[in-house]
Structure 1
Amino acid sequence: MSKIDDAVTQDQHKIGTEIGVSDWITVDQKMIDQFATVTHDEQWIHVDPARAAAETPFGGTIAHGFLSLSLASRFAYECLPVYEGQVMGINYGFNKIRFLAPVKSGSRLRGRFVLRDIKKRSATEVQRETGLSIEIEGNDTPALVAEWLSLSIFE
């Protein structure tokens, strides 16, 4: 059996189960401001704390939805397996992303992963579909939920 077949066999029984929960990370105003600068999305609800406090129901600034989503890679490094013989992992895309709750500046986020599917794509690739929920500490509603596709590449 090949290393790719081993990887698929190793995780097929985990389909439908939680495969990891990351550590918390704080999304502070500095991170929000840096993201705004890099993406050229400097809308005031993200970068003007005084105006956001006065004119929004959030009580201050909120993180960009795409900032929360971009943290998925960091969370995945902590939670998703690297298989024997795997030489790299590649983000393949998303089937679905929904932003459900605003992330206020100073909030802590973490990623929760559920394996939805795993299959051999080719002689060098395994595709994994993972359910991702980015949770906000102290909030019942997650910041976002997504169906994330990734590829594990083997030699």
Structure 2
Amino acid sequence: MVIIRNYTEFEALLGKEIGISGWHTITQQQINQFAEATIDHQWIHTDEERVKTESPFKATIAHGYLTVSLLPYFWHQIADVQNLKMQINYGIENIRFAQAVVVNSRVRLHAKLVNIVNLRGVTKATIGVTMEIENEKKPAYTGEVVFLYHFLD
């Protein structure tokens, strides 16, 4: 895990891979809970019997937005941004879903600092992200997430 205490330490990572998270298994329970929370009960996610005959995946798949919602969980495994007044999720840009995440797949996140700007004392960091699926050539998605960090000093 990388520890970042201020803008200068963050800026030193520009253009570099910051790190890779640990693996996380996407379970049917997690998919079902996400379906409940988002009111998205499409059968490809929740109907374990129907997918066996009608889905090209032959198993349920995670909602794309479920995998995106894991970004903060994975990011906090990769970087410990300290000395903060506040952190704000500012945006998600250019997310492209490349491959479905089949139930019980293991996924992890790769993060690279692609841009950083000092906005009058507020750090705007753009993190390039790729969600890897274990034993798959194509990632679940690629894109960028933008955070605003208000450091204490």
Q: TM-score, normalised by structure 2?
A: 0.91
Provide the C-alpha distance between the structure 1 equivalents of 2:93 and 2:99, rounded to a whole number of angstroms: 20
Partner in structure 2 of residue 102 of structure 1: 100
Provide the C-alpha distance between the structure 2 equivalents of 1:9 and 1:109, rounded to a whole number of angstroms: 31
Q: CA deviation at 1:88?
A: 2.5
Structure 1: stretches of 5+ with no match in the other structure:
1-5
Structure 1: which amino acid aligns with 2:130?
Answer: S
Provide the C-alpha distance between the structure 2 equivalents of 1:103 and 1:57, rounded to a whole number of angstroms: 13
| DSSP-derived class of the 1:49 partner | coil
Partner in structure 2 of residue 30 of structure 1: 29
| DSSP-derived class of the 2:57 partner | coil
Provide the C-alpha distance between the structure 2 equivalents of 1:136 and 1:89, rounded to a whole number of angstroms: 28
Q: How is 1:1-155 mapped onto 2 (pairs within 5 angstroms)?
A: 7-83=6-82, 85-123=83-121, 125-155=122-152
Alignment coverage as a number of residue pairs: 148
Provide the C-alpha distance between the structure 2 equivalents of 1:14 and 1:153, rounded to a whole number of angstroms: 18
Provide the C-alpha distance between the structure 1 equivalents of 2:120 and 2:134, rounded to a whole number of angstroms: 39
CA RMSD of aligned residues (A): 1.3
Provide the C-alpha distance between the structure 2 equivalents of 1:66 and 1:128, rounded to a whole number of angstroms: 22
| DSSP-derived class of the 2:112 partner | strand
Q: CA deviation at 1:35?
A: 0.2
Q: TM-score, normalised by structure 1?
A: 0.90
| DSSP-derived class of the 1:87 partner | strand
Q: CA deviation at 1:87?
A: 2.3
Structure 2: stretches of 5+ with no match in the other structure:
none
